[in-house]
A and B are shown apart, each in its own frame.
Chain A
Amino acid sequence: MVIDQDLVRHLSEASVSVELETPEMTLNIGPQHPSTHGVLRLVARVDGERAYDVKPVIGYMHRGYEKLAEVRTYAQITALINRIDWVSGYANEVPFIVAAEQLMGVEVPERAQYIRLILSEMARISSHLVFNASYPLELGAATPLFFALRDRERVLDLIESVTGGRFHPNFNRIGGVKPAYGSGPTTKKTIQDLPRGFLDETRSAMDKVLATAAELEALVAGNEIILARTKGVGVIPPEIAAAYGLSGPNLRASGVDFDLRRVSNYLPYDKFDFEVPVGTNGDCWDRWWMRLQEIRQSARIIQQAVDSIPSGPLQAKVPKVIKVPKGETYVRAENPKGEMGYYLVSDGGLGPYRLKIRSASFSNLSILPWALEGILVPDIIAIMGSLDFVLGDVDR
């Protein structure tokens, strides 16, 4: 009879050990998993329900936009970069265009700036509504998804009525927004200014967005199960958040009052009255709450902007063939997911020499190994969802 010595040792140890021995296993969460918004893969060492050494594996969504930008013209890049964070496509375009305009020294007409601002804030509302849709779903509640997406559709319809695209507007041009194009004999092509009725529809849509925010609050905010799942879960202290380069609502949830809309002047935010919600605990609940409050603040900004939009031209005078003069600049913007920045280096050609994209989700995701150490498997999903990243924004 053959005696398995390993088994004997294991049994003898098990009998004397005070604690119950449990074998560990490696659990792959993703890349094809119903909750990882896209193709994030998490490799976790799992002991029962507790996870250790969680490593995010990224790159499944890499599309090489930084390299691609080097071989494309400025007009083509605008069409590409709104695919980085597809949930808020419009907001991706603005900092890049502003960077090119800074190098060219172009003064953008005020109306164009207002249109940019309105559409950026709409992109923020749509992105935060997607978060409000998907986060309860990750915690198991399916209905908030439909309430939030129902109203996102209103916002997307408005964006589409102006730009022609729901997710990928491609509406910004260097020197302003999409100009009147076509000088031929037909009259079908006209100025791409705001279509008639847009301002009124925006006003009523913002009222509905605010109503939905109240509805979501009733459905989710008081819910004891949600509170139990999110309060005190995934606490990120402010110093850790800053050290990992978190930005946007995630940083503000940790109690750091930092909003690029106030610091940077890429769009005329200083003309509007709005509050920047700041959290106290830095847990999942605060991150959820931040985004719900930002929806309200964005709606407030849009209401003010719609009432005070000036008339005037949509485009500054720019040459027909755009060549950005030699130089380099970095423009960052407060995107729905956090700080989005473009480091643009131009050698005077038709396209950039180098374009470094600083995307918010990449930095936000980098805290995962720290935040997920030694927690329960259900909390992995709760924390991951609360950081609200988009894999297109992570991998670019």
Chain B
Amino acid sequence: MQIPRIPGAGLVKGMGVTLATMVKTLFRPSRYLATVNYPKVKETPVPRARGVIALDPEACTVCMLCSRQCPDWCIYIEGHKEEKQPDKPEGRVRVRSTLDRFDIDYALCMYCGICVEVCPFDALFWSPDYEYSETHMGKMLHDQDRLTAWLATVPPAPGLEP
């Protein structure tokens, strides 16, 4: 830590830094700008970003594990049992759980990802989509259709470092 000898040298040095940044940003904005014009230009989040939880209703077996493990209980699941007739006449009648309601209250969700992690049948996924804000807190409760629609935005997993 050297203290400058000439009084004011540090001030001039600091002014040099701001001026250099200004000139660089004015003439090479594409390289030196740190921010983007948000609604016009959007940054792409990383594939693993925890933006929103997407649901694959076909895979869900209404086991309620995610709902029970959620630290703030923001997942609401309802289902009923359906009898599935056997394909062959000698087969047994199978009971299959069907999903009636799968709501996530994103006003409560703390994006910990435990639900995605505990799901034994790969029904839940993280999607990096983040543009689902609402003007009213109650509207943050998103239903099954909305969650299923997000499934399309789930990116493929990134490759791994050896």
Contacts and interface: CB of A to CB of B under 8 A. Distances in A.
Indicate yes or no for A touching B, C-beta below 8 A: yes
A162 B48 contact: yes
Nearest to B48: A164
What does DSSP make chain B's interface, helix, strand, loop or mixed? loop
Contact of B13 (A164, A168, A186, A218): A218
A206 to B, nearest CB: 16
A193 interface: yes
Contact of B160 (A150, A191, A218): A191
Interface string A164-186: 11001010000000100111111
Interface stretch (A21-29, A194-202, A341-349): A194-202
A170 B34 contact: no
B158 A196 contact: yes
A147 B7 CA distance: 25
Nearest to A200: B161
B51 to A, nearest CB: 9
Interface residues of A, number: 52
Among A150, A188, A198: residue with most chain B CB under 10 A: A188
A197 B9 CA distance: 42
Contact of A161 (B9, B48, B123, B156): B48
Nearest to B158: A195
Interface stretch (A126-134, A223-231, A371-379): A223-231
Among A192, A195, A198: residue with most chain B CB under 10 A: A195
Interface in A212-232: 215, 218-227
Interface stretch (A75-83, A94-102, A239-247): A75-83
A223 B10 CA distance: 4
A137 to B, nearest CB: 14
A311 interface: yes
B34 to A, nearest CB: 4
B114 interface: yes
A150 B113 CA distance: 27
A222 B10 contact: yes
B30 interface: no
Among B45, B48, B120: residue with most chain A CB under 10 A: B48
B159 A150 contact: no
Nearest to A311: B162
Given A153-B34, A195-B160, A221-B1, A164 B126 contact: yes
Nearest to A186: B122
A194 B112 CA distance: 19
Contacts of B158: 161, 195-196
Contact of A72 (B9, B56, B71, B126): B71
Contact of B156 (A170, A185, A188, A218): A188
Contacts of B111: 165, 168
User: Interface extent on B, as a size class?
Assistant: 35 or more
Nearest to A192: B48
B46 A160 contact: yes
Interface string B47-71: 1111000001001000000000101
Contacts of A194: 160-161
Contacts of B18: 143, 219
A222 B17 CA distance: 12
A221 B10 contact: yes
Interface string A143-160: 100110010010001001
B4 interface: yes
Given A221-B1, A222-B4, A184 B71 contact: no
Contacts of B17: 215, 218-219
Nearest to A80: B71
B71 to A, nearest CB: 4
B45 to A, nearest CB: 8
A135 to B, nearest CB: 15
A265 interface: no
Interface of B: 1, 3-4, 7-11, 13-14, 16-18, 21, 34, 45-50, 56, 59, 69, 71, 110-114, 116-117, 119-123, 125-126, 154, 156-162
10 interchain residue pairs of minimum CB distance: A222-B10, A184-B122, A79-B112, A196-B159, A195-B158, A194-B161, A164-B48, A150-B34, A76-B71, A190-B157
Given A79-B114, A184-B119, A222-B14, 5 more contacts: A147-B21, A184-B122, A184-B123, A185-B59, A189-B125
5 contacts: A186-B59, A188-B156, A190-B160, A223-B13, A223-B14
